[in-house]
Structure 1
Amino acid sequence: MKITSVECLILDRANPFVRVYTDEGITGIGECFRRQPQVIKTLVEHILTPALVGKDPLDNELRWRDMYRAGSASDMGGAVYCAIAGLDIALWDIKGKALGMPIHKLLGGKLKDKIRMYASSLRRDLSPSEEARRAASFVEQGFTGYKLHSAVPGEMDDPADQTIETVRAVRAAVGDNIDILVDVNGAFTTHHALEIGRALENLGVFHFEEPRPHFDLPGLATVADTLDIPIASGEMIYTHQQYRDLILQGHVDILQPDIVKVPGFTEFQKIAALASAFGKPITVHNTQPTISTVAHLHVCAVYANIPYAQEYNIEPLSIRDEWPILKEPLQVIDGYLKVPDGPGLGVEFDEDVVKRLAAA
């Protein structure tokens, strides 16, 4: 089998997806991280595609290395990794389809048939009482965890921050048996992160995400070593080498790879093995609720060190809510998503919808 062509589709002007075609009629689909979709499209079609065409799509590790070299990923970093991620997911989709197996089978076999999800609120314009009402509404839908994004991104210890007030209101609204997760996207100094973290401990918060930016490993280590609340980080890094440093120098408790940022299944396997060697659990970062979520379902089903509820974006998204791009849209039932069992990713595009949104 050989790769014949590759295309990158930007759906509804914002969401980059890829398709990889082969000479045996098998097509793989994948999704890239959504930031700067035109940059991703350029990388996929002009830099990475020439490294793939004419080669065997089943040799996942070799194709990953081809893309890594073609994109000068070691020098160029972020966007190149995001482009590689979507293509790597598509290559694993091809492999599963060719072998008649779901990707979770290729990764070693699933431990779970369904994955518990937590509701991830990305709003930062809600008052504490509004966030509390929102959290309670998702608990009524069957979710057993709720993540709020607080603080003021890009600022430091901003006096407008209402993290504690909001968590207190949410806790009062949902009770003591619901997990609350707090993500501040690195907006606190180390000493203020310690102050906030102690208050979050008293409120029974499940994890405290990115109290310091990902690049401040000493700051993360100070917070993680001082507090009892688990410290989570990892959404802003890409390679297993960076995760090694996050573990050894950042001392974080929970790792957060995102499969459309770390370059696909191929690199995710290495991060999962590294996490297992150091006894670190994984809670994936995942804000894209279509192909990205499907890919995450496969890894979450396989690895024993992904034990907790996983992220599900509850914000409106056109390609899920208005014009569903999946032929069979994902359905959260009682707080769980079912792991697909079809070949490859186990899902397919609704081609009519994709064609319409690609032309938008």
Structure 2
Amino acid sequence: MERLSIKDKFTKEGVPQLARDKRLSRRQFTKLGALTGLGGLLVPGSMVLATPLADEQDRIRSGKKSDLIITNAEQFVVNVQDEGEEIRRGEVRRHFVYKITTNSGITGYSFGRGHSVDDLPNPRQIIDRKDPFSIDQFIAEGLCQVGSWEHAVWDVLGKALNMPVHRLLGGAVRDKIRVYLTIVWSGKEDQSDVLFERQAEDIKFFQDKGFKGVKIRCWRPKIMDDVEALKEIRRAVGPDFPIMFDRTGQRAPWVWSYEEALKVARGMEEHGAYWLEEPFERENYTSSFRKLIPLDQSPSYQSIPRSAKLRKEVGLRITGGEGDNDTRLFARYLSHDAFDILQPDVILAGGILVCKQISDMVRAFDNSVRMVPHGIHGLPLAGFLHVAAISPTTNWQELVMTSPGMTPEETLAPGKRLLKNKDVFRIEDGSMSIPQGPGLGLDVDKAALEHYRVR
């Protein structure tokens, strides 16, 4: 695969070209990081926010008290299932709810991953009786370790200003985003019991439904079997349909050696794979919820030289970053040419604001790297979509754990019982609409939350 300049790549893939005079060269970026301790790009307080929010922050810094105060933070679980109702595999019914109330009657909600309370900051200690516009301070005090709470704070801010979150972050560059489906078949986790022909047939089903790309695991014990699967899939969907492969570092049964990764990558490149994700060790989800470890002890950091070497030796896109929540790692990925695509998770990485900062880093670095955040399923998608809306280099949104035979709309349907605006997450021609309502854009049905709440 020919490596394109950022100008050619953006023109080819339909993303508006960025103004070059607003970006830094690699040398300037490295120098800036050395002078400023990774530079203002990584410091929450340096973010340039939309005027209403900036004005409010200026007012607070001038010594005037904010009228809006957080009065409570509550986490609970809902299970959207009525008595006698049959559950289909793949339906998203269990949700973790993060609720923030304020003295003005504004309530912020987000939906996210469940967090164990062990070794995590207590959000009440960080945000209780505080002004929600102090979101930078919350992140610095540890809220970045529980990104779902950060999403709920943004929901409060958007509702307070009657704006969608993407407007508070500088405005959207798109109102919809192309989605790809991550498909996991039932049976063995390594998918070794799934016939190549079945994978091809199921992926063709989604292609016929209008979806523009899929991602599958490459965990099979015989490393070239996934290349054989790709050959079969290509016969079904043609040469141009994007097929991504996810190794997921050490979550697979074993970690590839460099030689194994190179062999697989070359085979996938030969048959037109779109990318190979996380071929080596990486940070795992559990440690991402805990106190940050020293950078040089992170498995993601230790894998950078191998990822950079592999990227040089093959034309296939190499991607990574979904388990990381240290912005210094993303700076290293850029400065060491480790990945073609950075994949921060909008919850695990620290939240919406942190991912905005990573997006700004990618734009400033002046090369062909993109940011395509790791995805999720169900109602937590809202925060991910607001990041996709404001990131110029983002050209995909992942929908994860899609079950063959079910469409994403069917997967999302049970969760929408918790909302009044049922048209959110609308998919047309393989693209999902960006929420436009205040805050995260989810009009939560409080009665439904109480009805399905797990006692």
By the TM > 0.5 criterion, same fold? Answer: yes
CA distance in 1, matches of 2:411, 2:260: 39
Unaligned runs of 5+ in 1: 69-79, 153-157
Report the counterpart of residue 73 of structure 2 in structure 1: 6
TM-score w.r.t. length of structure 2: 0.69
- Kindly indicate whether residue 269 of structure 2 is the aligned counterpart of residue 201 of structure 1: yes
Match 1:178 to one of 212, 219, 241: 241
Q: Is the 8 A contact 1:225 1:251 kept in 2?
A: no
CA distance in 2, matches of 1:9, 1:263: 20
SS at match of 1:39: coil
What does residue range 248-267 of structure 1 map to in structure 2 within 5 Å? 248-249=335-336, 251-267=338-354
| Aligned pairs, number | 335
Following superposition, the deviation at residue 29 of structure 1 comes to: 1.3
CA distance in 1, matches of 2:413, 2:235: 30
SS at match of 2:244: strand
Q: Is the 8 A contact 2:356 2:391 kept in 1?
A: no
Q: Is the 8 A contact 2:425 2:435 kept in 1?
A: no
The letter for the 2-side match of 1:26 is I
- Kindly indicate whether residue 134 of structure 2 is the aligned counterpart of residue 67 of structure 1: no
Larger Rg: 2
Q: Is the 8 A contact 1:150 1:161 kept in 2?
A: no
Q: Is the 8 A contact 1:190 1:222 kept in 2?
A: no
CA distance in 2, matches of 1:234, 1:160: 23
SS at match of 2:180: strand
The letter for the 2-side match of 1:298 is H
Report the counterpart of residue 283 of structure 1 in structure 2: 372
Following superposition, the deviation at residue 188 of structure 1 comes to: 2.0
Q: Is the 8 A contact 1:218 1:250 kept in 2?
A: no
Q: Deviations over 1:139-194 (max 9, x none)?
A: 11110111111215xxxxx3376311211111111112211111111242211111
Distance 1:92 1:231, change over 3 A: same
Q: Deviations over 1:314-356 (max 9, x none)?
A: 2379983435333325232221111111111111223344323
CA distance in 2, matches of 1:275, 1:289: 27
CA distance in 2, matches of 1:43, 1:222: 36
Distance 1:188 1:352, change over 3 A: farther
- Kindly indicate whether residue 156 of structure 2 is the aligned counterpart of residue 94 of structure 1: yes
CA distance in 1, matches of 2:384, 2:115: 24
Match 1:169 to one of 218, 232, 242: 232
Distance 1:15 1:160, change over 3 A: farther
SS at match of 2:370: coil
Distance 1:97 1:232, change over 3 A: same
Q: Deviations over 1:89-138 (max 9, x none)?
A: 11111111111111111111111111111111133532211111111111
Distance 1:323 1:230, change over 3 A: closer
SS at match of 2:427: coil
- Kindly indicate whether residue 414 of structure 2 is the aligned counterpart of residue 322 of structure 1: yes
Report the counterpart of residue 72 of structure 1 in structure 2: none
SS at match of 2:256: coil
The letter for the 2-side match of 1:199 is G
- Kindly indicate whether residue 128 of structure 2 is the aligned counterpart of residue 53 of structure 1: yes
Distance 1:354 1:131, change over 3 A: farther
The letter for the 2-side match of 1:220 is S
The letter for the 2-side match of 1:47 is N
The letter for the 2-side match of 1:105 is R
Report the counterpart of residue 349 of structure 1 in structure 2: 444
Distance 1:161 1:201, change over 3 A: closer
CA distance in 2, matches of 1:287, 1:303: 18
Match 1:243 to one of 307, 310, 330: 330
Distance 1:22 1:4, change over 3 A: same
Q: Deviations over 1:270-318 (max 9, x none)?
A: 1111122223201110122322x11111111112111x22211223799
Q: Is the 8 A contact 2:218 2:246 kept in 1?
A: yes
Match 2:435 to one of 315, 318, 340: 340
CA distance in 2, matches of 1:50, 1:5: 11
Q: Percent identity?
A: 26
CA distance in 2, matches of 1:195, 1:23: 59
- Kindly indicate whether residue 306 of structure 2 is the aligned counterpart of residue 219 of structure 1: yes
Report the counterpart of residue 110 of structure 2 in structure 1: 30
Report the counterpart of residue 39 of structure 1 in structure 2: 116
TM-score w.r.t. length of structure 1: 0.86
Match 2:321 to one of 219, 228, 234: 234
CA distance in 1, matches of 2:216, 2:305: 25
SS at match of 2:141: helix
Match 1:297 to one of 362, 385, 388: 385
Unaligned runs of 5+ in 2: 1-67, 80-92, 250-254, 283-299
CA distance in 1, matches of 2:134, 2:160: 12
Q: Deviations over 1:75-95 (max 9, x none)?
A: xxxxx72x2x11111111111
Q: Is the 8 A contact 1:52 1:66 kept in 2?
A: no
Distance 1:9 1:176, change over 3 A: same
Q: Is the 8 A contact 2:242 2:274 kept in 1?
A: yes
Q: Is the 8 A contact 1:184 1:211 kept in 2?
A: yes
- Kindly indicate whether residue 135 of structure 2 is the aligned counterpart of residue 135 of structure 1: no
SS at match of 2:158: helix
CA distance in 2, matches of 1:200, 1:319: 30
